[in-house]
Amino acid sequence: MGSGLSVGVLGATGAVGTEIVRLLADERWPISELSLYGSERSAGKSVSWRDLNKTIQIFDIDSHNVHDLVFIATNSQNSQQIAPTLTKRGTFVVDNTSAFRMAEDVPLVVPEINFDSIQPENRLIANPNCCTIILLMAVAPLRRFGKIKRVVVSTYQSASGAGREGMVELEESTRAYLKGEEFSPEVFPNDYAFNLFSHNTEIGADGYNGEETKMILETRKILNDKEIGVNPTCIRVPVLRSHSESITVEFEGDAPSESNVRECLGAFPGVQVIDDRAGNRFPMPNDSNGQGDVYVGRIRKDVSNPHAISLFVCGDQLLKGAALNAVQIGERLFGLNNN
């Protein structure tokens, strides 16, 4: 690696980009040059990183520095315009948008699960949807107990999925509600204060919204299992930055024992089990907020189906659901973490 890596972050001032920059400050990253890019609105702003003050630049694809690695944390349209040019120059791109997730020649990676799906020639790696990552951190390890037939999952998604503006709108609308003041939502289509609503992505002909369709298709790609059934219901709840998911996993054969599931998940890197029945203590967003691990609990045999188990999962949407997973992909691409 010689004099160190040249790394770029697109969307460096957004909710996810901010976390990527923070994670790249870890000393394991031998970065000689970090370039932070943002919109015209953010350009010129100063962001502290390690002991430096970095200025936000506007990314110019024609004159940019050749980076070893670029994280894209903007939007799909932006990624579609930029990523192919970068990879042609040999730059590794870890893309947090949905632009290339389902492209056949682009690996879609949760490092703990399918880092080995990356081929030597791949330069563009897609970071999965937040709900999919958090779901699969709990579900993928269970394949050791037999073929999984079907997953039924209901999400409790946080405002952070709509970026910093979404988090601010949740706080501001709640503040207004508590003061008895009117509030007109701009980021979300509905009032969010003490309310919840179906994920506001377009509904397909099958009645599933865009977020749910991502969970179905991305799960199949990541698990390399075209047959696995996924039935998601994606709901936004008034929580700031952790997604929770109520999950029922149906196996082809009999369900594993609760203790085997607990042991399996507890041993999986990036997963922590909180499953204290006597103390009635199970995962909550307040456990996972700001944490890199995904928390699993309520592990139990499904009383309605001998082939199924149920569990409840919480994970930080901005970290394992986005920035951390992307940075972990980068770490492995450059041999900085071989766990």
Please select the residue that binds a second copy; options are 43, 102, 240, 336, rule is CB under 8 A.
240
Residue 197 interacting with a second copy (CB under 8 A): yes
CB of 58 to a second copy, least distance (A): 34
Residue 299 interacting with a second copy (CB under 8 A): yes
Q: What whole-number distance in Å separates Cα of residue 253 and Cα of residue 306?
A: 9
How many residues touch a second copy under the rule CB under 8 A: the total is 59
Residue 196 interacting with a second copy (CB under 8 A): yes
301: helix, strand or coil: strand
Residue 305 interacting with a second copy (CB under 8 A): yes
Residue 330 tokens read as: 């980068």
- Closest by CA to 145, choosing from 45, 230, 302, 260, is 260
CB of 36 to a second copy, least distance (A): 29
- Closest by CA to 322, choosing from 12, 15, 16, is 16
Residue 132 tokens read as: 């999919």
Taking CA atoms, 141 is separated from 2, 110, 231, in Å, by 37, 12, 19
Do residues 46 and 54 lie in contact, with contact meaning Cβ atoms separated by under 8 Å? Answer: yes
Q: What whole-number distance in Å separates Cα of residue 110 and Cα of residue 105?
A: 16
Q: Fill in the DSSP letter of residue 321.
A: I
Instruction: Tell me the window of 74-82, 106-114, 118-126, 174-182 that interacts with a second copy (CB under 8 A).
Output: 174-182
323: helix, strand or coil: helix
Q: Which is nearer to a second copy, 44 or 306 (CB)?
A: 306
Q: What whole-number distance in Å separates Cα of residue 104 and Cα of residue 58?
A: 31
CB of 249 to a second copy, least distance (A): 11
3-state helix/strand/coil string of 165-216: HHHHHHHHHHHHHHCCCCCCCCCCCCCCCCCCEECCCCECCCCCEHHHHHHH
Please select the residue that binds a second copy; options are 161, 238, 315, 321, rule is CB under 8 A.
238
Q: Which is nearer to a second copy, 174 or 337 (CB)?
A: 174
Question: Taking CB under 8 A as the rule, which mask of x and - marks residues 209-228 in contact with a second copy?
Answer: x------x------------
CB of 317 to a second copy, least distance (A): 13
CB of 108 to a second copy, least distance (A): 20
CB of 304 to a second copy, least distance (A): 3
Pairing relationship of beta strands 308-316 and 52-55 according to DSSP bridges: unpaired
Do residues 296 and 138 lie in contact, with contact meaning Cβ atoms separated by under 8 Å? Answer: yes
Give catalytic residue positions.
130, 243
Please select the residue that binds a second copy; options are 18, 87, 132, 244, rule is CB under 8 A.
244
Q: Which is nearer to a second copy, 61 or 278 (CB)?
A: 278
Instruction: Tell me the window of 54-62, 103-111, 130-138, 302-310 that interacts with a second copy (CB under 8 A).
Output: 302-310
Q: What whole-number distance in Å separates Cα of residue 211 and Cα of residue 243?
A: 13
Q: What whole-number distance in Å separates Cα of residue 180 and Cα of residue 297?
A: 37
* Residue matched to tokens 């369900």: 255
Please select the residue that binds a second copy; options are 152, 291, 334, 336, rule is CB under 8 A.
152
Residue 131 tokens read as: 């709900």
Do residues 321 and 130 lie in contact, with contact meaning Cβ atoms separated by under 8 Å? Answer: yes
Do residues 20 and 55 lie in contact, with contact meaning Cβ atoms separated by under 8 Å? Answer: no
Q: Which is nearer to a second copy, 25 or 193 (CB)?
A: 193
- Which residues, numbered 257-276, are part of the site for a second copy (CB under 8 A)? 258
CB of 93 to a second copy, least distance (A): 31
Please select the residue that binds a second copy; options are 122, 154, 260, 337, rule is CB under 8 A.
154
Binding site for a second copy (CB under 8 A): 150-152, 154, 156, 170-171, 174-175, 178, 189-191, 194-198, 200-203, 206-209, 216, 229-231, 233, 235, 237-240, 244, 246, 248, 258, 277-278, 280, 282, 284-286, 297-305, 308, 310, 312
